[in-house]
Structure 1
Amino acid sequence: MGNLDHSTSIMDLPDDCLLHVFNSFEGLQNRDRESFGLTCRRWLQIQNIGRKSLHIHSSFTLLRFQAKTDDDPSFELLRKLLKRFRCLNSLCLSSSTELEDSYLTQLEFLGSPLKTLKLDCCFKITDKGLSFVAAQCASLTRVGLSHSKITDVGLETLAKSCRSLQVVNLSYCAVTDIGIGSLMKECRQLRHVMITYCKGITGTGFRGCSATLSIIEADSCMLEPEGISEIVSGGGLEYLDVSSLSWCRLGDGLGGIGSGFASRLRVLNLRMCHLATNESIIAIAKHCPALQEWSLARCRGISLSGWKAIALHCHKLEVLHVSHCRGFRDDGLQAIREGCKQLSILYMLRCSHVSSLALELFKLHRQKVQIKEEDSLCKLPRH
């Protein structure tokens, strides 16, 4: 019998087999992983397929200013990168201030569904660019659009196409309750929405929000009492930041948080809500039994009855912020000392009406509680 050549080369192995080899290098340093593709063209192809995330950031801005021709090198850069890495799950173009709507047409080169797209601080992106995203990236679950020029029109287009959205950052955008309403209607898997400094939002757009919505960051918005009630109406909220509500146009309005729909709320940031009253604080303390961290820093209108309600009803409270609270006095500190049995940290900076004696008594009776002279922010839970 003649000799048969049973030799097998790398070209005979399927992509999924070689991809398994490449993925086994995840524990190595980035330099070693990058060297993988230098072996041969086939290994380079596998490396390109195996890449799941791409972070370009401000490269486009730098290229635009360095260009010496009429051609747009940054447009070509994006085209080449997306044609090379066709299996991306995540694409970050944040802080590319020269990124224009037309660049986003290049998303068509992606061969696999993109899950995460970050366009934060891309100042030139408008509704037109968002329509390109909606057309090419229907499987998006996370999108960052802060500081862009999008409006309700673009947000509605995105919501209708990308119904699997879970995390949306709209901070500093010119969107209103109309756009938020479209998002709540179309995207029933939403978990985290950021609308910081969206001055056109009163909160009413959250009407009918899904129970999956667990995190809302609404710092410095123009929220109204009805809007605050709608924000918690889904019943699944665990983290709520409505700090800096000094602009609230119709009185306190915070009582809606204590209406009974926020029973799962664990972190509540009311920092600088100058219009907060004892009535709303009492309602929240009674009807938010799961609270673990509560910031009332720089809230001016809370007095003894409010502090007593927190001490009496907040049995799971671990972290309390009272820095710069004018109404936090010796009797308020005594109430917290006698209640809040799970308290572990008390942020207390510049509470000028608390005496040294009251503070020492607190330390004596609650030795496990750390008193920090800081004006700290609430911690955002990780996904």
Structure 2
Amino acid sequence: MESQFEITGALLPDDCLQIIFQNLQTRGERNAFGLTCRQWLQIQNLARRSLALQLSYDPKVYRNYAIYLPRLLTRFPCLHSLSLAGCTELPDSALTELRHFGSNIRSLSLYCCFSISGHGFAHVSVGCPHLVSITLYRCCITDAGLRTLAEHCRVLENVDLSHCIQISDQGINALLGGCTKLRRLIISYCMDIRGTGFAGCSPTLTYLAADSCILSPEGLFLVVRGGGLEYLNVSSLRAYIDPDVLSVIGAGSASKLRFLNLRMCRFLSDHSVACIAQGCPLLEEWNLAVCHDVHNEGWFKIGSTCRNLRILHVNRCRNLNNLGLQALVDCVRLTVLYMHGCQQVTYMGLEAFRMLRQDVEIRTEECVSIGSTVDNFFAN
């Protein structure tokens, strides 16, 4: 009976075998499927959609990856997702097969792939024209590499360039100009970006993380000018600039903004707070932790204007006192208040707030990021 089954199975067309494989429930069953014969193994290989090389601290492992990756790309030609995260010593030569087998890849992670040069990024750009998401965290990509990427990968929607210290506004401008569907961009800790590359920014850009960047006043204006931003993180803005410059966020172009992180923007003024509160009516979460220049005027404006605000961070705000805290009572939809280290708020002031707003959860832990549940939405 077993021999008869093997003969019958071998005679089945590929489309029937694909349906059978897709309906297998467990990993053991799927692995056993490929052991039947070469035809079934080929069906198993064609059905594989994701591949992730495991992180290792052994340099010998990465040298083996360089040898086996081209073979794996040849074996699994229909991959949609490929992760090479942590392969710090992966050479350009390991990516050459992407030119032949990368056309189906939609998501690629080169997280901390330090050894990849312009030639490697060229293999990626030319070989993966249908990329939707790419992670280049701490990679050595340059403006020229970004131009090549934008030229060939025009359907990109999600790009992570955090800690890519060799890119500037020229590269960002090329990326935005070539990838007209870009929705999510991370440029945190990219010290040579001033923001001028965002000129002509597409309204499709809804998520921008620029933590610890050195954006100029003009650059910040261009960042929000596209009009589509729903998430903006400019925490720890590096340069000390005009205290009212952040008011451009509330000048009208960012009216769709729902999540705003201004943590450690110590020069943020009450005037800027008032402009943002007025100009961003959809704001749901606002991080103002360590914003020492916000005084009672700013807190009163938040309380009276931010009708959709659900989560507010005020950790270590030196000028939040009992009066300012009471002003936040008027935030009708406020449900979570992150607050610790506010030395001017007394025990009595805190208890008075709790009596008036028993529906608000006061959390004392530090929370650096915002919109954690929405991050996944923007990433997909």
TM-score by length of 2: 0.92
Q: Equivalent residue of 1:316, what SS? A: coil
1:151 aligned onto 2:142: yes
8 Å Cα contact 1:246-1:274 kept in structure 2: no
Counterpart residue number, 2:105: 114
Counterpart residue number, 1:362: 353
Unmatched runs of 5 consecutive residues or more in structure 1:
1-6
**More deviation in 101-110 or 82-91?**
101-110
Counterpart residue number, 1:230: 222
Q: 1:252 to 1:33 in 2, by over 3 A?
A: farther
CA distance in 1: counterparts of 2:13 and 2:348, whole angstroms: 75
1:45 aligned onto 2:42: yes
Q: 1:77 to 1:367 in 2, by over 3 A?
A: same
| AA of the residue aligned to 2:263 | R
| Identical-pair percentage | 45
1:282 aligned onto 2:274: yes
Q: Equivalent residue of 1:38, what SS? A: coil
1:371 aligned onto 2:362: yes
CA distance in 2: counterparts of 1:352 and 1:251, whole angstroms: 24
| AA of the residue aligned to 2:52 | H
8 Å Cα contact 2:86-2:110 kept in structure 1: yes
Q: Deviations over 1:155-192 (max 9, x none)?
A: 01110111100000111112111100001111110010
Query: What are the within-5 Å matches in structure 2 for residues 281-320 of structure 1?
Result: 281-320=273-312
8 Å Cα contact 1:224-1:253 kept in structure 2: no
TM-score by length of 1: 0.92
Counterpart residue number, 2:10: 11
| AA of the residue aligned to 1:117 | L
CA distance in 1: counterparts of 2:31 and 2:193, whole angstroms: 45
Q: Deviations over 1:312-360 (max 9, x none)?
A: 11100000000000111111101001x1100000000111100111111
> Once the 2 structures are TM-superposed, how far is the Cα of residue 253 of structure 1 from its aligned partner?
2.1
Q: 1:234 to 1:16 in 2, by over 3 A?
A: farther
Query: What are the within-5 Å matches in structure 2 for residues 106-145 of structure 1?
Result: 106-110=97-101, 112-145=103-136
Counterpart residue number, 1:3: none
> Once the 2 structures are TM-superposed, how far is the Cα of residue 366 of structure 1 from its aligned partner?
0.5
8 Å Cα contact 1:255-1:283 kept in structure 2: yes
Counterpart residue number, 2:27: 30
CA distance in 2: counterparts of 1:234 and 1:311, whole angstroms: 28
Unmatched runs of 5 consecutive residues or more in structure 2:
1-5
8 Å Cα contact 1:223-1:248 kept in structure 2: no
Q: Equivalent residue of 1:190, what SS? A: coil
Counterpart residue number, 1:164: 155
CA distance in 2: counterparts of 1:249 and 1:77, whole angstroms: 51
Q: Which of these residues, 60, 65, 68, is aligned with residue 60 of structure 2?
A: 65
Q: Equivalent residue of 1:54, what SS? A: strand
RMSD: 1.8
Q: Equivalent residue of 1:245, what SS? A: coil
8 Å Cα contact 1:267-1:292 kept in structure 2: yes
Alignment length (residue pairs): 368
Counterpart residue number, 1:4: none
Q: Deviations over 1:56-108 (max 9, x none)?
A: 1436x73x5269xxxx6433201111111110011100110111122211213
> Once the 2 structures are TM-superposed, how far is the Cα of residue 283 of structure 1 from its aligned partner?
0.5
